[in-house]
Amino acid sequence: MEWFAGGVTLPKGFLASGVAAGIKKVKRDLALIYSEVPAAAAGVFTTNRVKAAPLLVTAARLARGVAQAVVVNSGNANACTGEEGYADALAMARLAATVMKLPEELVLVSSTGVIGQRLPLEKIAAALPAAVAALDVTGHAAAAEAILTTDTVTKEAAVRFSVGGCTCAVGGMAKGSGMIHPNMATMLAFITTDVAIEAALLRRALKEAVDASFNMITVDGDTSTNDMVVVLANGMAGNPKLTAAGPAYADFVAALTAVCTELAKKIARDGEGATRLIEVRVTGAKTLADARLAARAIAGSNLVKAAVFGRDANWGRILCAAGYSGAAFDPAKVAIFIGAEQVAAGGAGLPFSEARASRELAQDPVVITVDFNEGAAAAVAWGCDLTYDYVRINASYRT
Nearest CA to 379 among 331, 313, 329, 310? 329
Task: Report the distance separating Cα 163 and Cα 86, nearest Å.
Answer: 40
In single-letter form, the type of residue at position 368 comes to: I
Characterize the bridge pairing of strands 30-45 and 14-19.
antiparallel
Task: Report the distance separating Cα 322 and Cα 220, nearest Å.
Answer: 17
Task: Report the distance separating Cα 39 and Cα 190, nearest Å.
Answer: 13
The residue from 112, 186, 193, 283 that is catalytic is: 186
Annotated active-site residue 186? The verdict is yes
Task: Report the distance separating Cα 112 and Cα 225, nearest Å.
Answer: 9
Active site residues: 186
